[in-house]
Amino acid sequence: MTEKIKKSLRDSAKARWTALVLASLAIFGAYYFNYALSSIKPMLESILGWDSGDFGTYTSSYAWFNVFLFMLIISGFILDKLGVRKTGLGATIIMFLGTALNYFAIEHHFAENSVVYIPLIGEMKMQVLLSSLGFAIFGVGTEAIGITISKAVVRWFKGKEMALAMGMQMSIARLGTMLALMISLPMAKNFSVTAPILFALIVMLIGVASFIAFSLLDIKLDKSEGVEEEEKSPEDEFKLSDIKYIISNLGFWYIAILCVLFYSAVFPFLFYATDLMINKYNVDPYLAGTIPGLLPLGTMFLTPLFGGIYDKYGKGATIMIIGSMILILVHGVLAIPTLNVWWVATVMVIVLGIGFSLVPSAMWPSVPKIIPEKQLGTAYAVIFWIQNIGLLFIPLILGNVLNATNPDVSPNKIVVKTAIEKAFTETLTEKGFTVKEINKAIEKATGSAVDSVVQYTNYVPVSIEEIDTKKVESEIYNGIVSKIQNAGLSGDKKEMLREVIKIGEQEAYNVIVKERLNLRYDYFYDMLIFLGLSLASLLFAFLLKIEDKKKGYGLELPNIQK
């Protein structure tokens, strides 16, 4: 008698790699939007009146709900209870809603004194608060889809090319990061400050559709294995008592702490990297995002490569140690004040990409060696929750340190913007221009004036205490109004606007240079913070390797089972 052998859909290379691509596209948009606003930090300051403290609050808000409301832990429970498909669909919809609220906040023009008082925090600009709330909602969906896809990859690739698959998934996602860093600032300058967010909304919708397609394929996987609705046997069901096993596992804590330290030294760096390239290395704003964009570009190819090496040859703990050492080298070099040539930054970002490829390629496939599969959803959730603590506090600390060590920059930018805004509003309203056209002109002139000073001038700035800011504002205003009136502009409105923007930029630039206003950020102390995080990550990478030797997790062994 011949018994029919049932073949699982996961045994089909075409099916499992298709599933991986569809699932990865759902998180592609998340990685794009995560860095969309960080890339336009100079415009948020010059045009919307934000400072580095506001920016730090915004970037840290990603983790508000995940950390304080334990949404990541709850997402892990939901994932282990409801399964990959339902959790993932809900997560992609939440990402879209958070991005939509963010778009509304940036698109809407709030009054200058539009602030809200928050107990224990103090006053916050209404625009910053709404934008941050949108980013926080988005963060809930992003982290939920992150742990969902991690579990989905384990489900489809267990016993096969798991590290390679996780590397490929991260590569597709980081394509979104690369796009955000490279195109967001040019897109905002050519269109409007909200253009990168609108693009993110479109990509989010594509992500929802992609995850629905993945879910249909995942249903076929269940049917091929004779399982319905991702059902589990009673012994495989997650129980709350299993948390005790997770949190009492020392190897788990080493990998979780390594995760938060390592990612805190990379992700927040990318938040500030474009601004760093402009301020320290004098890179053209249109090209400034290209240099940090090399990091995710490199990881797209290197992470799967290193994952494939781990699959075949092992050495996961060693790979994490080498990656942490590279991180120390990069942040150490970038912290040196006198090394301010663009090619040094470019080389260091490329090297950072190697380190950033090494650690995740070994870290995430190592978790299933430490934690049983039935507890993976919650284990990943706890790791991501701890990671979010870093993503909450580190950007906030970086923003406040940047403000404290550069107290003149933000107030000076506000002086320039106020003068241009007053001059343009007065002169262009008389000529019949709409509020939208005037605001667009203010945006372009202010951004260009500030960028030109940061990129092309080299003078010892004067402290703001030594400057009569009212006088500076008046000089810029009078110069612009006088030049516009003397130009006798008339005729084509587009040509008039181009001429007005040019006048505004030039007059503001002349006054800024004459008065030696400080518009350039010094990132030295922020880079020391990154260096400290890198050193700590190396310590925990060594501790993880020692624990692996004691407990025999097999982190140094290959993943592919022969």
Q: How many helices (H) and strands (E) does the chain have?
A: 22, 2
Instruction: Please give the Cα distance from 282 to 232 (Å, whole number).
Output: 57
In contact, 501 and 366? CB cutoff 8 Å? no
Q: How buried is residue 389: exposed, middle or buried, by Cβ count under 10 Å (0-12/13-18/19+)?
A: middle
Distance CA 378, CA 381 (A): 5
Please name the residue that has the structure tokens 């400050």.
193
Q: Please classify residue 502 by burial: count the beta carbons closer than 10 Å to its beta carbon, then call 0-12 exposed, 13-18 middle and 19+ buried.
A: middle
Spatial distance between the Cα atoms of 394 and 385, rounded to a whole number of angstroms: 14
Helix (H, G, I), strand (E, B) or coil at 125: strand
Query: Which residues, 6+ apart, have CB-to-CB distance to 250 below 8 Å?
Result: 547
Shortest CA distance to 181 belongs to which of 68, 345, 294? 294
Q: What is the mean pLDDT of each run of 10 residues along the chain (562 residues)?
A: 55 82 88 88 85 89 89 81 88 95 89 73 84 94 87 80 78 86 88 91 92 89 67 52 76 91 91 91 87 82 78 84 94 93 93 87 82 74 85 90 92 91 88 84 88 86 88 92 79 82 91 91 95 95 91 80 61
User: Which tokens go with 248?
Assistant: 């009492």
Domain boundaries, the chain: 13-228+265-406+522-551, 409-515
CA distances, 513 to each of 175, 416, 460, 508 (Å): 39, 12, 10, 9
387: Cα within 13 Å, side-chain hemisphere: 24
CA dihedral 412, 520, 285, 447 (to 10 degrees): 10
Give the pLDDT confidence score for residue 237 in this predicted structure: 53
Place of tokens 């404290």: 404
Amino acid identity at 531: L
Burial class of residue 189, CB neighbours in 10 A (0-12, 13-18, 19+): buried
CB 291, CB 334: distance < 8 Å: no
Q: Which residue has the tokens 């703990």?
A: 317
Place of tokens 């916050």: 124
Burial code (b: 16+ CB inside 10 Å, e: under 16) for 307-323 equals: bbbbbeebbbbbbbbbb
13-228+265-406+522-551: CATH, from 3.40.50.620, 1.20.1250.20, 3.20.20.140, 3.40.30.10? 1.20.1250.20
CB contact set of 268 (below 8 Å; sequence gap of 6+)? 59, 391, 394, 395, 398, 530
Enumerate the H helices of 457-554 as residue ranges.
469-487, 493-515, 524-551
What does the alpha-carbon distance between residue 141 and residue 89 come to, in Å, rounded to a whole number?
10
* Distant-in-sequence, close-in-space partners of 391: CB < 8 Å, separation ≥ 6: 60, 62, 63, 263, 264, 267, 268
Token pair for 69 = 């409301």
**How much is the pTM?**
0.80
d(CA 149, CA 156) in angstroms, rounded, equals 10
Task: Annotate 191-238 with DSSP letters as a single string.
Answer: T-TTHHHHHHHHHHHHHHHHHHHHHHHHHHHHHHTT-STT---GGGS-
Q: Residues with Cβ < 8 Å from 378, sequence gap 6 or more?
A: 73, 76, 77, 79, 80, 238, 242, 243, 246
Pairing of strands 122-125, 115-118: antiparallel
Written as six digits, the tokens of 190 are 């050519």
Q: Is the sign of the CA dihedral 520, 525, 529, 534 positive or negative?
A: positive
Place of tokens 């298709």: 18
Q: What pLDDT sits at residue 195?
A: 92
